């Protein structure tokens, strides 16, 4: 997992496994982090383990019929990398080129 800013499109990308989220501003990423931090991890982990799920934190993707699924450890790592990105001095943030981003999507 990682968070980076793309030089080509200037968006913030959050790469989590096979999923790539896009945020247009750090403020929107902060709002998303607030949402993630509001989730009662232990409650949902308990409920979803009883259902036999290995990935116990399920996040809806807006109005799409798609959900993201994380283990507790993956979910905590997701929050941590976003927190680290937001805490980093903007001049020191990681940037990638559009070519590097295309390579990420091919793997």
pLDDT for position 1: 87
User: Burial level of 6, CB count in 10 A (0-12/13-18/19+)?
Assistant: middle
pLDDT for position 99: 62
Q: Please tell me the pTM assigned to this model.
A: 0.79
Determine which helix (DSSP H) or strand (DSSP E) holds 61, and give its type and residue range. none
pLDDT for position 7: 84
pLDDT for position 106: 46
What does the alpha-carbon distance between residue 79 and residue 34 come to, in Å, rounded to a whole number? 9
pLDDT for position 98: 56
Residue-range domain boundaries for the chain: 2-106
Are 20 and 13 in contact by the 8 Å Cβ rule? The answer is yes
Averaged pLDDT in 10-residue chunks for the chain of 107 residues: 88 90 93 95 94 93 88 93 84 56 51
pLDDT for position 37: 96
DSSP 3-state of 102? helix
Determine which helix (DSSP H) or strand (DSSP E) holds 101, and give its type and residue range. helix 98-106
């Amino acid at each position: 997992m990682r968070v980076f800013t793309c030089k080509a499109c200037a968006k913030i990308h959050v790469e989590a496994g096979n999923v790539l989220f896009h945020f247009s501003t750090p403020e929107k990423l902060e709002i998303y982090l607030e949402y993630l931090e509001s989730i009662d991890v232990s409650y949902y982990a308990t409920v979803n383990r009883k259902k036999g799920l290995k990935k116990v934190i399920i996040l809806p993707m807006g109005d799409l019929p798609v959900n993201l699924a994380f283990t507790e450890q993956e979910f905590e790592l997701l929050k941590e990398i976003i927190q680290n990105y937001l805490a980093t001095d903007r001049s020191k943030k990681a940037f990638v080129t559009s070519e590097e981003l295309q390579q990420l999507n091919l793997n």
